[in-house]
Structure 1
Amino acid sequence: MPDLAGTVTLVTGASGTIGSGIALRFAAAGSSVAVHYHRDRARAVALVERIRSSGGTARALAADLTDEAACRRLVADAAAWSGRLDALVNNAGIQPVAELASMSAGTWRAMFEANLTSAFSCTQAAARVMRETGGSITHIASIEAARPAFGHAHYSSAKAALVMHARAAALEYGPHGIRVNTVSPGLIDRPGLATDWPEGIDRWHRAAPLGRLGDPADVGNACVFLASPLAAWITGHDLTVDGGVSARPGW
């Protein structure tokens, strides 16, 4: 692992499966981790205790990221914790399934608020903190930004916009030493997935050259790399983490 000792990282949506995997990898690299959650305080506190029991440093912070002011407060609290903020991972989001033909405008807007506008607000707030020292901002997008799925028109559209937001932010914040990238995961395993969607897992195994589902740590490792000095000349990039599925021919 790269050595991130002495740094502070804010991970949004860290009480979820992928978010906790990201937070754990940053902690393993030596970064102090601000664990954001919205409603699931118990899981966030359990994650903080897990990091601390392994010798790391973490704290839980609550915020509703659909509220712009709450995003600013969250970033300010994370930065005030140790007097700095070196990395932000915009992981928080939602993924409901809805048929495009019957989808309401409210459902569409809710997807963009949770997955895109939240990242916009947190990024804007973090960039203000990082302007003097530089830093790394990573959005968690999806391979669905380029490969749509049935029932995910709103999700795929929001993730595609997230990739472009990162590129635009990389352009405008680059002169301040702030790097902005995206990580696009494929299918990431979670408890109960094999029971909930066995046919999907079977299709994934047959499509993936590496022959397995992703693990939250796989996403976390990509984020740690992008936040580390090893990626000092990488910005505006979308790093695909999907076991090779995107390399498979579509015909």
Structure 2
Amino acid sequence: MKVCAIVPIKHHSSRVPGKNYRVLEGKPLYYYVIRTLLDCKHINQVVVDTDSPLIIEGLEQYFQNNVTVYPRPKELQGDDVPTNALLMNVITKNDYDADYYLQTHVTNPLITVKTIDDALERFMNNDEGYDSAFSVMTHHTRLYNKDGGAMNHNPKELIPTQDLDPIYEENSCIYIFSKASLLEHKHRIGAKPMMIKMSDIESTDIDWEDDFIKAGLLVKMRNDQSMEGRVVLITGVGGGIGTAVAMKFKQEGWYVVGMDIKHIEQPYVDRFIQTDISKPENCQAAIASVMTTETRLDCLVNNAAIQICKKVVDTECEDWDRTMNVNARAMFLLSKYAHDMLQKSSGSIVNVSSVHAHQTSESIVSYATSKGAVSVLTRAMSLEYARDSIRVNAVLPGATDTGMLRSGLSRGHVAGGDIYQLISSLGSKHVVNRIGQPSEIAEAIYFLADGRHSSFVIGQSLVVDGGATIRLSTE
């Protein structure tokens, strides 16, 4: 059975101005229901019937071509047009390939994928002749009519409310029907409807300003709960930046999976995978291992890198290949194989590039080239992965006090003096008069990794270099 979901969204709202596109916990209100519908396994197409250019633009931004937009005709625009008239118009004017239709509203941001999928399964598998379905809230409470008469109980018998016969309230969250039933009854609820019971929280509907405030609190609570048990995979976890990144994620409550070519033991790493990611088969095996062992993956931090300090004429093919394989190809492969897990969690990828992608030095050609490739890879990958709710960004650290930096200070243009003099000299060339610390790079990586902080940041390269690259070399 094929199901087409239809969501009518009008631009104007009288009781809560602009509510359908108003920002709720970092996203416009319409985002939540559309995202939920797209994630439902039984829904084949999502159609939005709207008269709002603002919403049409936003749907393209958030969902690209995954949502079909039907521009509402002028004669059906306005606050007094019945939803049934909108449904009959959009379905008869378009040849959607659907056996059934599901209609919901953007004002129900807390409805879940499971509730919708379960409702569709129950309806499509019913053998009792139901021609439609609608969702309800269940009430066990004493009700009275306008004259004070008891409606569902005997006032002289105060039995517990949970023992009263239930009363059902239509909550306007889910309607399921066929085209034939809609046209016959001129209504989304047919002659023999099935009632789908829903929880009070999922039934939350935004009609008034107070409802918007309550919904925001509930969405925040749900988002906070979904953050529990988050998993991050960090490559190059044994290095200076890798260690600091693991510490930061662990402090924030994440489960940390670390990878490195050398065996390490860290209190910040919950699970360690020792492997050489310069080999393609090891990249695939590592992600397969994570998929087997972990229930989810929320972030991939591509941090592993090597740095070979040689002039162009001294760089061998083996040097070039190994640098590119570790610093660029492994990022591509790990991101490719981790795609499905990250899509399920609407996760993120943070690639660690370098300021050498922008401005570079002598005797570091293979490293600089690889980091330039990482920055381009980040932009290209982000275009495709954003469609699957995966954000991809990069951090470009400047001089940071790590083992790699200290080894690199032996290059000819900075050689001479002990290591502390070299670090001090290098630091004096920065606007802040010092080099960076791994913890400062880790903070930037975490900012890009956690969607609560950077949900609108996609495909960007964040330079963290103490101002080193903003000063003209001629000054």
> TM-score normalised to the size of structure 2?
0.48
Is structure 2 residue 271 aligned with structure 1 residue 59?
yes
**Cα distance in 2 for residues equivalent to 1:22 and 1:165:** 21
**Aligned equivalent of 1:54:** none
Aligned positions of 1:169-180 closer than 5 A = 169-180=381-392
* 1:239 partner SS: strand
Matching residue within 237, 251, 272 for 1:14: 237
Report the AA paired with residue 208 of structure 1: H
- What whole-Å deviation, never above 9, does each CA across 1:193-246 have from its counterpart, x for those lacking one? 398644542332222122222111111111111111211111100011111111
**Aligned equivalent of 2:253:** 30
Shifted more, 107-116 versus 64-73: the winner is 64-73
Is structure 2 residue 436 aligned with structure 1 residue 214?
yes
* 2:428 partner SS: helix
- What whole-Å deviation, never above 9, does each CA across 1:30-52 have from its counterpart, x for those lacking one? 111001111x21xx22x1xx22x
1:190 deviates by 3.1
Aligned positions of 1:122-133 closer than 5 A = 122-133=334-345
**Cα distance in 2 for residues equivalent to 1:32 and 1:120:** 23
Aligned positions of 1:12-161 closer than 5 A = 12-38=235-261, 40-41=262-263, 44-45=264-265, 47=266, 50-51=267-268, 58-161=270-373
Pair member with larger Rg:
2
**Cα distance in 2 for residues equivalent to 1:238 and 1:182:** 5
- What whole-Å deviation, never above 9, does each CA across 1:136-164 have from its counterpart, x for those lacking one? 10111000111111111111011001000
- Identity of counterpart residues, as a percentage? 29
* C-alpha spacing 1:196/1:26, structure 2 compared with 1 (3 Å): farther
**Cα distance in 2 for residues equivalent to 1:106 and 1:196:** 31
Report the AA paired with residue 242 of structure 1: D
- What whole-Å deviation, never above 9, does each CA across 1:167-215 have from its counterpart, x for those lacking one? 0000011100011111111111136939864454233222212222211
* 2:362 partner SS: coil
- What whole-Å deviation, never above 9, does each CA across 1:121-142 have from its counterpart, x for those lacking one? 1110111322233211011100
Q: Which has the higher contact order (CA 8 A, sep 6+)?
A: 1
Is structure 2 residue 461 aligned with structure 1 residue 238?
yes
**Ranges in structure 1 where 5+ consecutive residues have no aligned partner:** 52-56
**Cα distance in 2 for residues equivalent to 1:247 and 1:130:** 35
Contact 1:62 1:74 in 2 (8 A): no
Query: Size of the alignment, in residue pairs?
Result: 238
Contact 2:427 2:435 in 1 (8 A): yes
Instruction: Please give the root-mean-square deviation of Cα atoms over the aligned residues, in Å.
Output: 1.9
* 1:132 partner SS: helix
- What whole-Å deviation, never above 9, does each CA across 1:54-82 have from its counterpart, x for those lacking one? xxx61111221112221122123224333
**Cα distance in 2 for residues equivalent to 1:171 and 1:135:** 15
Contact 1:173 1:179 in 2 (8 A): yes
* C-alpha spacing 1:196/1:124, structure 2 compared with 1 (3 Å): farther
**Ranges in structure 2 where 5+ consecutive residues have no aligned partner:** 1-223, 410-416
* 1:180 partner SS: strand
* 2:345 partner SS: coil
Aligned positions of 1:193-208 closer than 5 A = 193=406, 197-198=419-420, 200-208=422-430
Report the AA paired with residue 281 of structure 2: A
Contact 1:19 1:91 in 2 (8 A): yes
**Cα distance in 2 for residues equivalent to 1:101 and 1:223:** 35
> TM-score normalised to the size of structure 1?
0.88
Report the AA paired with residue 37 of structure 1: D
Is structure 2 residue 472 aligned with structure 1 residue 249?
yes
